Amino acid sequence: MDYTTLIEILGSTLRLGTPLLLACIAGLYSERAGIFDIGLEGKMLMAAMASGAVAALSGSAWIGLAAGITASLLFAAIHGLASITFRGNQLISGVALNFVASGATILIAQTAFGQGGRTPPLDGAARFQAITLPFAEALSGVPFLGPFYAKVISGQSLLVYLALAIVPATWWLLYRTRFGLRLRAVGENPESVDTAGVSVIRLRYTAVALTGVLCGIAGAYMATSLQAGFGREMTAGRGYIALAALIFAKWRPWQALWATMLFGFLQALALRPDVIEAMSPGSLTIPVSFLDALPYLLTVIVLAGFVGRAIPPRAGGQPYVKER
């Protein structure tokens, strides 16, 4: 593999890893507060449909982004109501939302546009365009670092840079602020937080709302930047992959960045069978379907515990009942 090909794959890795990163950080907030959220997939899918549809009708990617966040927040509110207020089973609530999103997105898109569950193709202001960073052209001739800056770091969508900025922001919020300390404490020992006079319910709803916002951005990115519109089941299991990456990262933001980029790299590699064939010994031919399955195989490996023991927040999945 030459350096030019590697640069192309790394650029694709960043683009494909962005929705995974956003969903992974979304799940981090929720699970750190003790709310397991299997419904990341459904929130992303609903947000993708809403953003793609509204962007197509309004001609504005920003309005589409707002619609995607709103749709995801609606699903987050339903999950919060079921899991926090009514103390229902968090896993069942998340799975139910995934099923609802899978059917509702196709039904709404087909009813609105009549294109087989898709939205019309987006172009112009209805999409988030690539941004060329300063000095990208001037530095492109510098060996090694120049092409990396010009073709991997530069030339990405605004939402990609937003996702990267969210990682240090999340680390600071969780580990350097009073809110972050309380949020982590709610996921470990909600009774002690309640004893200190802090509302466990309010903190958990805040975490669920943050999850909804980030899943909304992830879904909007897929429909208005990564692709030119919404397509049936376009999230393709990315919500579940993000959960696996979260476990792989042991619920830490910086590790989540590298874990999601690893999954993104495998997805990017699956799009380049020519590279795999060139690296294969002799006349060995690797089926394209196997390459497509690589991210999901890694997901199974992570969830099976082969990457080491990952200990979730102790109060995760447990509804809190205030003692009287």
DSSP assignment of 53-116: HHHHHHS-HHHHHHHHHHHHHHHHHHHHIIIIIS---HHHHHHHHHHHHHHHHHHHHHHHH-SS
Q: What pLDDT is attached to residue 2? A: 81
Taking the C-alpha atoms of residue 243 and residue 27, their distance in angstroms, rounded to an integer, is 7
Taking the C-alpha atoms of residue 169 and residue 167, their distance in angstroms, rounded to an integer, is 5
**In the block, which residue shows the tokens 């139910």?**
96
Q: Is 156 helix (H, G, I), strand (E, B) or coil?
A: strand
Q: What angle do CA 96, 98, 101 make, to 5 degrees?
A: 110
Taking the C-alpha atoms of residue 163 and residue 175, their distance in angstroms, rounded to an integer, is 19
Considering only CA atoms, which of 8, 27, 3 is closest in space to residue 215?
Answer: 27
Output the tens digit of pLDDT for each of the chain's 324 residues: 688 899 999 999 999 999 999 999 999 999 999 999 999 999 999 999 999 999 999 999 999 999 999 999 999 999 999 999 999 999 999 999 999 999 999 999 999 999 999 999 999 999 999 999 998 888 888 888 999 999 999 999 999 999 999 999 999 999 999 999 999 999 999 999 999 999 999 999 999 999 999 999 999 999 999 999 999 999 999 999 999 999 989 999 999 999 999 999 988 988 887 777 776 666 567 777 777 788 888 778 877 766 667 788 988 888 888 776
Q: What pLDDT is attached to residue 13? A: 96
In eight-state DSSP terms, residue 150 is I
Q: Is 5 helix (H, G, I), strand (E, B) or coil?
A: helix
The residues that bridge with 131 in the sheet, in sequence order, are 156
Considering only CA atoms, which of 163, 191, 183, 162 is closest in space to residue 261?
Answer: 163
Radius of gyration of the chain (CA): 20
Taking the C-alpha atoms of residue 17 and residue 40, their distance in angstroms, rounded to an integer, is 15
Considering only CA atoms, which of 65, 52, 97, 101 is closest in space to residue 78?
Answer: 97
Q: What pLDDT is attached to residue 321? A: 82
In eight-state DSSP terms, residue 25 is H
Domain coordinates in residue numbering, the chain: 3-236
**In the block, which residue shows the tokens 């397991």?**
36
Q: What pLDDT is attached to residue 280? A: 65
Q: What pLDDT is attached to residue 140? A: 85
Tokens of 134: 């300063």
